[in-house]
Structure 1
């Protein structure tokens, strides 16, 4: 079933929680008792479902339901003015006959096939404007006695109604105008005129569909206040009245047209002077009838929900024990204009149909109207609209955001940050933490439980990254945390692994010993190779100059042993060089 679908809380950045409020609204006015047609501008409609919904402020009452059910066109008119409605199924247009003031309000058309098409009309019905009344203001008699002939003040009044105005005109020029939102009092507007003014004055009461005009008769209202000598007509009337009075007394009979008091002072029926009349109080109107709020269901509460991708969520209505004819769910990323669930009781049979690309993951609880969505994906984020129909419409809206699970953030060293603080005792090291960016994802550095900094970005095309500079001798625990509203991941910083190679300390003792031994051994082997021209395992020379014995016991690493009596050979001789020291050899 279709109804106003509005979006836009909210937003979260975003999301236009106003929904169909942004669509064009057709403003219509008409006079009470007339007919009006809400024209859709469509032709040749071949759709399954046409609904009209009405309300003085929020269109929540179904008045027309036209559906094609199993090949049969079933149209039902509802509500207190159903007998005055007529639907054109080829265009979807609705005609309302014999309008009353109660027909003012918001009308919503919803046409369903695969998607929903909506139109809205704001109709205001006005009562015909009555004729305004013009009277003299008694207190204004001869207001300007210093002028040549004086002046006169009059007041024009009319019963007040919505959008009704009251104006004074001199010829075609409007002199002043008034209106009032307080419908409990009449509209009134005063005017002061010169008694010798020859212009034509008129008082006009109007609303958007009708108007009424009363012309001012200066002579009738103000003639007696002209400051002039006795009028001849007045003298004749007085003489005739006296004469008739005397006749009535003397003849003691009733003369037609003669009404005389016992004192002889006559009273004329048609006096030129009109008595001042008090302004009648207007009948108070229903103060609840004000201009419809075109925002409709936008003023209703929006339920904000979040859930993790792959999980399930239930859009709880908070209702129980529902026994209604129709339950409809609509969905859209911004405007919920796509039907996803249609559940109706048709001729005693409950028919529920799931629609759309994720229809196989939907489940409806008809006792509560709640909707469950299983195995959520990111594409399930959006606005969901529930419409429950019986006699009136009940609506609820849900704004669901589905988030992907947060991946583990990666921490690495910044190469340019080596020895960033070479002047410090042990230097410093800079690291950077990064994670793939997604909507509402944040990245933060913590020292223990204290957050040091945080970043986020609406640009989802680039990763989030956040750097941190630390002292190499810092013993605190640092961690990088990536989070969204439904999950988070933490990576702890390993200072030794990332920054130990940059510690500014003296050479290691073990390293020094190894390097010295390698250098000494290399030099010794080199000298032996040059002097002996062959690879000898130890050198030991006898006193007779014979080559060293195999089991001498002296290694190259000590020294060759030489007999003191052996002559010195030349460089190329294989005999040992004479020496005065003999160590560890037996000759």
Structure 2
């Protein structure tokens, strides 16, 4: 039996599937993020049963067994990560994922009509460079050779994943997985022996500080039961020898420019939310949010976010032949998003009340960044108004779907 299952697992991992297991869907997730696996059901009946399982090369585990009024979780190696996000349809959310959670997830759906399956291959990759700035804290070092400690200033949990990165390139400095009690510190020649990670608090110490160490240090903390935390530290040397005075002047001026740019971006983002344009689409109608861009250039990037937490929903990057798209995992927008390949305009089809809120687009073009905001509020009042003209602030999509391909 074990050999049979192992063979089946290898076939699924390679993308082979048949009518018994159903279509195999592949999902890519970053370490520390969450993923939702959809059953595509519309409504579970009283006697229906759903069983979620997970398989890798080592074993197969029962995750969740549910009836409409009874949900039984089996945590095992998932440790409180599992959540049935919608008991009416049986969708499964796994939070704060690790690379070890890569594998095959399957829903066995048992109804009066028979048994069907939904199968997913989930690939969890290394946590990417931290792009979100979070709060920014200035830290000074009196002179070269001193040490500086960057504190997380949070009560860490036993399931936290703590990631430290440096600079615009997001160089990985250190990582602490408290759940598995594992730590990593970069041993690259430039920083070898000078980094210390506190396994209890996640704080990072840079010893024997050098001028080359000045810059932005970025922290990301992922957890099972709280929102992902971001924090940025701007570290500089406040004192130096006479021969370094010119260099330090340049450093301080650069840091002031960085701080000023960050302030301008923050104010621009806040302003775009405060003056977000109100749009009132009819319930279940599509609504298009426009970027104002007429033609996406090769190096342009457009990022759409939603809600007070700026949850990412889609990113578009200009290409030589056509733009590339990356859709972030968010069940609220499943199969509802359409993009205009020339302008980056975002259309949400079949809008419901869960899509109400503030949408913001960040447009990177020609070395500049601009923002635009929309506040969407759905209404079903127009269903009884006959043939009134649609709200001019809620244009409907009448274009053919653009070519879409995953981002590299």
TM-score > 0.5 by shorter chain: no
RCO higher in structure (CA 8 A, sep ≥6): 2
TM-score, normalised to structure 2, is: 0.39
TM-score, normalised to structure 1, is: 0.29
Q: Which has the larger radius of gyration?
A: 1
